[in-house]
Chain A
């Protein structure tokens, strides 16, 4: 089955710790995206990548980092510099251009 796999489903971070959220897609999509959603809020773009080895900051990139070494994978690291990381993190992918994005099931991150 083609789709977008995010792992883990739930993640807990200790103070001062970096954590990495995984996102893998087998849809052969060129572009991948990371969003953050807070309770009752819309989606806010963290980072996006339209091609391997290239990515751009979104609206709330501070405290986050990404890599795009393979077309299928776009991991997100939440660094200790992100002081309020508790949120629902969503990964999406799309073909290039005006195509819709499709989402993974998300990762819920909380602070211990």
Chain B
């Protein structure tokens, strides 16, 4: 059973703060890792992809991956009320027949208050 766990939330931070979202996964064969943002009533939108250990920065977003600890995180700097959404962690394994299939966490709801 491949599991992707996210901190349960909800997470509430003030505007301008750093929001930290965490995700752990059970399958050591996982090769690629994604963060999606989902606004209420909308479909998920890809915001970050990370494939190797370390940090990857894109604007106010930083994804961090540690394969040894089976841990991936998303930091949102200078959080804005428009960042209020549910953030989904997704993990891709390396099994031939299921290559490409993503395993999703249940999501962490983030609220940024003014």
A16 adjacent to chain B (CB < 8 Å) = no
On whether the beta carbons of A100 and B46 are closer than 8 Å, the reply is yes
On whether the beta carbons of B88 and A43 are closer than 8 Å, the reply is yes
Binary flags per residue of B71-114, CB closer than 8 Å to A gives 1, else 0: 00000000000000000101010000111111011110000000
Name the distance in Å between A21's Cβ and chain B's nearest Cβ.
13
Contact of A103 among B44, B51, B92, B105 (CB under 8 A): B44
On whether the beta carbons of B99 and A96 are closer than 8 Å, the reply is yes
On whether the beta carbons of B43 and A90 are closer than 8 Å, the reply is yes
B7 adjacent to chain A (CB < 8 Å) = no
- Which of chain B's residues has its CB closest to A42's CB? B106
* Chain B contact residue count (CB 8 A cutoff): 23
- Which of chain B's residues has its CB closest to A4's CB? B43
CA A90 – CA B97 in complex, angstroms? Answer: 22
On whether the beta carbons of A31 and B104 are closer than 8 Å, the reply is no
CA A102 – CA B44 in complex, angstroms? Answer: 8
Name the distance in Å between B89's Cβ and chain A's nearest Cβ.
10
* Chain A contact residue count (CB 8 A cutoff): 23
Contact of B100 among A31, A42, A90, A102 (CB under 8 A): A31
On whether the beta carbons of B100 and A99 are closer than 8 Å, the reply is yes
CA A102 – CA B47 in complex, angstroms? Answer: 11
- Which of chain A's residues has its CB closest to B32's CB? A98
B31 adjacent to chain A (CB < 8 Å) = yes
On whether the beta carbons of B92 and A98 are closer than 8 Å, the reply is yes
On whether the beta carbons of B43 and A100 are closer than 8 Å, the reply is no
Given A50-B99, A100-B32, 5 extra CB contacts under 8 A: A33-B101, A98-B92, A98-B100, A99-B32, A101-B46
Q: List 8 A-B contacts (CB under 8 A).
A: A33-B101, A42-B107, A90-B43, A94-B100, A97-B99, A97-B100, A102-B46, A104-B43
Interface residues of chain B, those whose CB is within 8 Å of chain A, are 31-32, 34, 42-46, 49, 51, 88, 90, 92, 97-102, 104-107
